[in-house]
Structure 1
Amino acid sequence: MTRPADAALAPAELGAARYTRHSFARSFLRQAARERWTVSTVRWEFDDNGHGEAVYRIDADGTLLHFAVFSTVLQENERTDRVIAKRWDVTAALVEGPVPDDRLAELRREVPRQEAGRADAATLVWTRANRSERFFDYVVAQLAAGAQPDCATMGDACYILRSTAFYSNGKFGLADFDRLAEIPPLRVPYRAQMLAAWLLREFSYDLAEHCAACRNPAAATLSGDWRRYLGLGNATGLGMVPFVVNHPSILDAWCSARELPLAHALDTAADAGSVRRASELLDRARRYFRERDTLTTAPYLTGPELADRLDGIARILAEFPGGGFRWRDLDDRVAEFGAEAQAVLHTVLVELDDSLDTAIEELLTCDQRRRVEVAQTCGQLRDLLADRYDWTREFDFTDPDEQARFWFSAEDNEEPRRGKRGQDPGESMEHPIDVARAVHALRHDLAGADSGRSVAEFLLEFPWHRGIVARVQSVAGLRYGEVRANLLADDFLPLHLQRFQLALYGMENYSPQSTDWLRVTLFSGAPRAGDVEPGVDDDWLFTRKPRKES
């Protein structure tokens, strides 16, 4: 039995989410390992500082792909992760088919330009990244000295390259979504982007080791636990929030990818084997979060605080080593430890069963078209509001705090922003993501309409409701299509929706830098190209820091 939408889509619940076996990074690597994809370097031309280019060849179960990377070295004051940046340390493209010299020349000319460039229809993803100013040179220096990085110096960041964007789906002339669906290994949404991110992470290892070897031919390579520990850094801002609000069918699919496996897991009877496995994973999670003692996490629990709560869950689980209960009973008992601790338990329980892997992937392809059903009656529309949008009644829009904010795109940086209504400029260009307020206004005007009157007639009198009517009608069949939040409220916390999406991507190490953006890592501990070829997709949940012997 899945959780009701009001529970699953509560902002604080979304903000507690953690990645699971159905997150995009995990499912991508399972496929790559199952099909034994191969990655080889067919071009590597770099100077001592890492300025140059590389081309990786990918055989994805018979589909030929290439990843072309162009690297330079920026001055520290030139680096920015903002959309308005004009230069990056690294730019790259994932392309379909061969890359002869003339095509490479075209990629070399266009890819580093990013927003100012132009792609061909056989190019699938463009991406770019910057070196970590804190860790890239440090790791190179350590390797050049014949040593491995030091955990105390690296802290909880665990990356040396930080991605800033992944473009696809027709932007700049890139292959559109329908074309991606025709490429078997990439037909699942976000698989192409995950492949590009994974290869960018692979390149970060290769580049650091190359630069170290240029300093000292006897330099070390990343070894032991360090060989896989480093992930790909990323930072995300407010742009993710309008995206998920403006794409209710995607939100429904993503939330279903979380809720359906969880319901299946909770309704499963625990036996001695599953209790033992759950205990092992929970113990790993406790150690993992206890080690995250330097990460900025407010307003969420610190790693050690979360570990302490997981200790309580582990004690309860230890009371029943032989099983004989349903996991839902345990979940009910541990609710006292809070949503964040429960979310970790949910990750552990979903990990126990792989039977839904294929079905969950099939959920991710969505029909996002919206249309107004003009023949529907006003009475039917009112019933729809009562059934699906009763949650909006909790917001009182006569209270200034409930619409104290507005969302807009800043002209100077082309990024979504929140402004203070009546104070900040940009209110005249407000984005229409005020679902709760729009429903409130629709309900008010609809109250006086005759029940038998058609929606077409109603909209002739109230044409400004056309957008929200189309939305209400289009998402009527979606269980998880609307976040239970008022995005205009002064106390709305964007981090909750950002963390939910990042968990679906497969990211970890959430480190909020304000109420509006946070830093994360992707693929920390994940199999590398050399692991995937022989079919290794081992268990890399909650990868702990490298031991000193590494």
Structure 2
Amino acid sequence: MSPERIGSFRITSLSFSRSILRRMKKENWKVEQSRFNLNGDGHGEAVYHIETSHGTFSFIAVSQDLEEHERSDRVISEKWDITFALCEGELSEEKIEHLKQELPKQEAGRGTVQDLVWSRANRSSRIFDYILKALTKERQPDPDSLAEVGYILRTTAFYGNGKFGLAPFEKMMEDHPFEGAFRAQMFAAFMLRQFSFDMVEHMARSRNPDAPPLDSRLKRYLGIGNATGLGMVPFLIFHPKLIHQWVYLRELALARSKVEEITLMKVDSLLEWLRPAIDYFTHYPVKETGIFESGDTIAEELRTIERELVLLKEELPFREGRQWVPFIESLLPGLSAETQEVLNSLMIEIYPEKNEELENYTVVSEEMELDPAMKIGQLLALIKYQYEWCFQYDFAKRDEKHFFWYRSIEKEEPRIAVRGEEPGDEHEMRMNIAELVQKVTVLLEEWNREDKVAKFIFRYPEFKGVIRRVQSLENHDYAEIHGNLLQKDMIPIYLMRCKLSFFGGERFDPKSNRWVRITLFQGAPLVEDVENDEPVEWMFPKLPALEEEA
């Protein structure tokens, strides 16, 4: 659970964007455009009707005119090209008018319990305008030009769980179509992708009635962009049981796959997934920054795996059954952490029959309970067993407490500042679990091992929270990030990437060590593909060649 390792995670078949499309296909959801009131410049509103096995939902997008200088991914922005919502039920005219007024305000707006998700997005000006011009001239855009960005629209936040008056998360439990972690948000992103295609095609036809639709192969290649900053990081600290569950499910799926017997069918399946991955990283459009491994390195290491698999295939069938474990372990010394995680994703992928049922367990109770009757000796033993990693840091050193985290008043978003140089440390968020554990351990060591925790907390009430955390996370091996988030050389985007991988993010493009751009649903099927029973599995998209047959 080091930041560097979890910062190498990638999309898997258990990622939330993947699981929601499987549900959509399995339950035969239907999507229809029920309103498309956009002018020739793409401004206005569009509504989509979604029929699921357990009710009707609506997706609405409101598009407004925006000057180029107003277009920004920063959280302090107050205007966006498009704001959108996923809502329960049909939208009345009154509700549509309410959303047209409130959605563009985002944080300053007010929703209702009918609204499950609110979000906003901006156009990728270069790609949007390029596609529009190409279609207007009755031709398809060049795939190589699209590969530079990979999306038409880019989101900056997804809101739900009661914020701005939206529906609470508890509303989406049990048999709800969007039951599960972040499935509603990911479906909203999927619908935004569909809207992006409909919008650019509409604008092209407004300029030239003979403009063709965007080629379906290009649509599948294009995803939705997302820009993520520091606001995502505290989630991993403040939701330890949830993080444990997600990582545990991922590790369980990987373990299930690796103990399976190697067969010719599964070797071929792994090769079928590996070859697109090699192509993807060979042409990886993300500039090298030194934060993440380069595409060239990953591609070369994947070729090594491919060669070893071809050799393995020649040995089959084995006289006695042989698991994947020794074969994979023989590869690991020659692979970077990033390539290891690509291989892990592929191993999970080739055993859907073993792993896909795990997608039903992404939500857990996050209650933290204090055990006041626990003895001091038991608590110290628990800390020694589960929190040994905390004691590698010397917080007397200035560089170990270089930063502090706080929440801005104007946007209620987490930020970091340099301690002693910038104001606000009196409002510091409790982000440094390692330091808190160290402090409470020093005090606990002075107490009688037979004393009860209740007695200690009565004397030191300020440590009630960290003690409750330690007790509650017993046997939660993946709950804590094993790192110091105040350290001078901290790289926050490692934690962002970890969470984004569970969403199904790919193409991690760091713009600094504090924010990253990704794509969602790049390579994913279209709405009509899901409805027409086309395969819904994707991972590493291949750039289409339009001269080939569709």
Q: Distance in 2 between matches of 1:40 and 1:413?
A: 36
Q: 1:118 aligns with which of 100, 110, 113?
A: 110
Offset at 1:412?
5.3
Counterpart of 2:311, as a letter, is: E
Q: Is the 8 A contact 1:118 1:172 kept in 2?
A: yes
**Deviation digits for residues 232-277 of structure 1, max 9, x if unmatched?**
0101111111111111011101111211101111111111110011
In the aligned structure 2, how far is the partner of 1:135 from the partner of 1:73?
Answer: 17
- Which stretch of the first structure deviates more once superposed, 415-424 or 277-286? 415-424
* One-letter amino acid matched to 2:299: A
Question: What residue identity is the alignment partner of 1:46?
Answer: L
Residue equivalent to 2:351? 353
**Deviation at 1:323?**
5.8
- Work out the percentage of aligned pairs sharing the same amino acid: 38
- Residue equivalent to 1:53: 45
Give the 3-state SS of the residue equivalent to 1:282 in structure 2.
helix
Q: Deviations over 1:52-90 (max 9, x none)?
A: 111100011241001111111200011122222222111
Structure 2 distance, partners of 1:494, 1:110, is 32
Report what 2:459 is aligned to: 461
Equivalent in the alignment of 1:6: none
Q: Following the alignment from structure 1 to structure 2, what is the Cα–Cα distance between the partners of residues 189 and 12?
A: 24
Superimposed CA distance per residue, residues 181-234 of structure 1 (whole angstroms, 9 cap, x where no aligned partner): 155211112111111110011100100111111111111211142031110010
User: Aligned to 2:65, which of 67, 73, 83?
Assistant: 73
Shift of 1:411: 4.0
Give the alignment's Cα RMSD to 1 decimal: 1.6
Q: What is aligned with 1:368?
A: 366
**Which residue of the other structure, out of 246, 257, 267, is the alignment partner of 1:254?**
246
Render the CA deviation track for 1:308-360: whole Å, top value 9, x for unaligned: 11111111121110264322112211212111111111111111111344542
Letter in 2 for 1:402: E
Q: Is the CA contact (8 Å cut-off) linking 2:405 and 2:416 kept in structure 1?
A: yes
| Conservation of the 8 A alpha-carbon contact between 1:84 and 1:414 | no
Q: CA deviation at 1:293?
A: 4.2
Residue type of the alignment partner of 2:323: R
Deviation per residue, 1:422-464 (Å, 9 max, x gap): 2222211111011000000011000001111111110121122
Question: 2:286–2:507: 8 Å Cα contact kept in structure 1?
Answer: no
1:331 counterpart letter in structure 2: I
Amino acid at match of 1:509: R
**Residue number among 185, 189, 197 corresponding to 1:197 in the alignment:** 189
1:29–1:537 contact (8 Å) kept in structure 2: no
Instruction: Please state if 1:402 is matched with 2:400.
Output: yes
Instruction: Tell me if the contact between 2:157 and 2:228 (Cα under 8 Å) persists in the aligned partners.
Output: no
Aligned residue runs from structure 1 range 224-373, under 5 A: 224-321=216-313, 322=316, 324=318, 325-335=322-332, 336-357=334-355, 359-373=357-371
TM-fit CA distance, 1:109: 2.0
Report which stretch shifted further, 241-250 or 407-416: 407-416
Q: How does 1:206-221 map to 2 (within 5 A)?
A: 206-221=198-213
| Aligned counterparts, 1:377-396, within 5 A | 377-396=375-394
SS at match of 1:22: coil
Name 1:489's counterpart in structure 2: 487
Task: Give the Cα separation in 2 of the matches to 1:466 and 1:43.
Answer: 54
Contact 1:298–1:512 (8 Å) recurs in 2: no
Distance 1:323 1:137 in 2: 54
1:478 alignment partner in structure 2: 476
Contact 1:287 1:544 in 2 (8 A): yes
Q: 3-state DSSP class of the match of 2:122?
A: strand
Q: Which residue of 1 aligns with 2:95?
A: 103
Contact 2:180/2:361 (<8 A) preserved: no
1:529, CA displacement in angstroms? Answer: 1.1
**Structure 2 residue 391 is matched with structure 1 residue 421:** no
2:166 to 149, 152, 174: 174
- Bigger shift: 108-117 or 383-392? 108-117
Instruction: Give the SS at the match of 1:355.
Output: helix
Q: Is the aligned partner of 1:128 residue 2:120?
A: yes
- Aligned pair count reads 542
Q: 1:423 to 1:175 in 2, by over 3 A?
A: same
Match of 2:446 among 437, 445, 448: 448
- CA offsets 1:478-536 (integer angstroms, 9 cap, x no match): 12111111111112221211111111100111001111111000001111111111232
